[in-house]
């Protein structure tokens, strides 16, 4: 919040990042995703600390979220929209989807 580095990486980037607000993520949007893609969950309150992404996972078959659950202490599979808009609704302001490229 004071502008100093959160982690001592000696790296800086000033940029604009766009994300999809959670309330606009629905079945129709998910149908446009590839069979496998990454998802980053945005938490705007973290920005003051230089962090934009609060959590990450993978969306499989435009429906299922695979992610590491801090609550369950293991990797879990759950319905993406239920995770985003269920009890976590106030947890994240939005998402960024990203392509997974084979190496």
In the chain (103 residues long), the average pLDDT of successive 10-residue segments reads: 72 82 95 97 86 93 96 95 80 93 79
pLDDT (0 to 100) of residue 73: 94
pLDDT (0 to 100) of residue 67: 97
Give CA–CA dist 57/59, Å, rounded.
Answer: 7
H-type alpha helices, the chain: 27-30, 80-85
Q: Phi first, then psi: give them for residue 46, nearest 5 degrees.
A: -80, -15
pLDDT (0 to 100) of residue 90: 66
Let me know: does 22 contact 84? Beta carbons within 8 Å.
yes
């Amino acid at each position: 919040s004071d502008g100093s580095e959160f982690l001592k990486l000696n790296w800086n980037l000033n940029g604009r990042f766009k994300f999809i607000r959670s309330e606009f993520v629905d079945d129709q949007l998910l149908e446009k995703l590839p069979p496998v893609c990454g998802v980053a969950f945005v938490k705007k309150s973290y920005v003051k600390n230089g962090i934009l992404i609060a959590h990450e996972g993978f969306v499989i078959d435009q429906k299922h979220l695979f992610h590491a659950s801090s609550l369950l202490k293991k990797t879990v599979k759950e319905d993406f929209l239920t995770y985003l808009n269920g009890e976590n609704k106030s947890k994240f302001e939005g998402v960024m989807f990203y392509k997974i490229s084979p190496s």
